[in-house]
Amino acid sequence: MKKCTKCGEWKDESEFSLRYSVTSKPSLRNECKSCLSSQERNRVNNNREAYNQRRREKYQNSHEHYAKQQRERRSKRLENEPGYKEKLNEQKRKQRAIYRSDELRIRTAKARFYLRRMLPEGMEPSPELVKVKTSQLMLLHEISQTKEEQG
Ligand SMILES: [Zn+2]
């Protein structure tokens, strides 16, 4: 049995992790495993922002790495594979169409939501009204996208 210096409880030796040292034999740590793990949890929670930042950076770096690989593969194929350029353009066109339809779907739902709030309870906005509001939202979205692209 060993007394944990953190919680003060007497616990079995198996409840303590080993501390490894270069100069001497491994010895049991002074804090029990459960105290250590709650310490670790606190450490992560207290440094949440730094922790998230590291994760973001890690993701960003690997993302950039794969994007670069893909660009390289693509340019090689563009040089060597006849018809690949057309295939790529077709893929891009499809992707854009999917993106657009998603954007439209999201904004139609938003338009309906806005309009419902303006109407007396239980009243549904007319399809024409939803259409007008949706195209307004799409326009605003496109403007903000253009602004973003221009920095
Ligand atoms: Zn403890």
Domain identity same for 149 and 107: yes
Amino acid letter, residue 11: K
Between the CA of 90 and the centroid of ligand 1 the distance, in Å, is 62
Domain identity same for 116 and 140: yes
Q: Which of 57, 81, 105 is the last residue of a domain?
A: 81
CA atoms of 16 and 32, how far apart (whole Å): 5
Domain identity same for 73 and 104: no
Domain identity same for 115 and 139: yes
Q: Which of 27, 56, 81 is the last residue of a domain?
A: 81
Between the CA of 42 and the centroid of ligand 1 the distance, in Å, is 14
Q: Is the pLDDT of residue 20 over 90?
A: no
Domain identity same for 89 and 148: yes
Between the CA of 134 and the centroid of ligand 1 the distance, in Å, is 59
- Determine the structural domain holding residue 102 and report its residue range: 85-151
Contact 28, 40 (CB under 8 A): no
Between the CA of 74 and the centroid of ligand 1 the distance, in Å, is 56
User: pTM of the entire structure?
Assistant: 0.40
**Cα of 31 vs its chain's centroid, Å:** 35
Give the tens place of pLDDT for each residue, 60-91: 888 889 999 999 999 999 999 999 999 999 99
pLDDT band at 151 (very low <50, low <70, confident <90, very high): low
Q: Is the pLDDT of residue 134 over 90?
A: yes
* Span 130-142, average pLDDT: 92
Between the CA of 45 and the centroid of ligand 1 the distance, in Å, is 19
Domain identity same for 92 and 40: no
Give the tens place of pLDDT for each residue, 30-50: 999 999 999 988 888 888 888
pLDDT band at 28 (very low <50, low <70, confident <90, very high): very high
Domain identity same for 111 and 141: yes
Domain identity same for 51 and 40: no
Domain identity same for 105 and 139: yes
> Long-range contacts of range 135-144, CB-CB < 8 Å, 24 or more positions apart?
136/111, 137/107, 137/110, 137/111, 138/103, 138/104, 138/107, 141/103, 141/107
CA atoms of 100 and 39, how far apart (whole Å): 48
Domain identity same for 112 and 134: yes
Domain identity same for 60 and 15: no
DSSP-assigned letters across all residues of 52-72: HHHHHHHHHHHHHHHHHHHHH
**How many domains is the chain partitioned into structurally?**
3
Q: What is the pLDDT of residue 84?
A: 92
Amino acid letter, residue 90: E
Domain identity same for 24 and 76: no
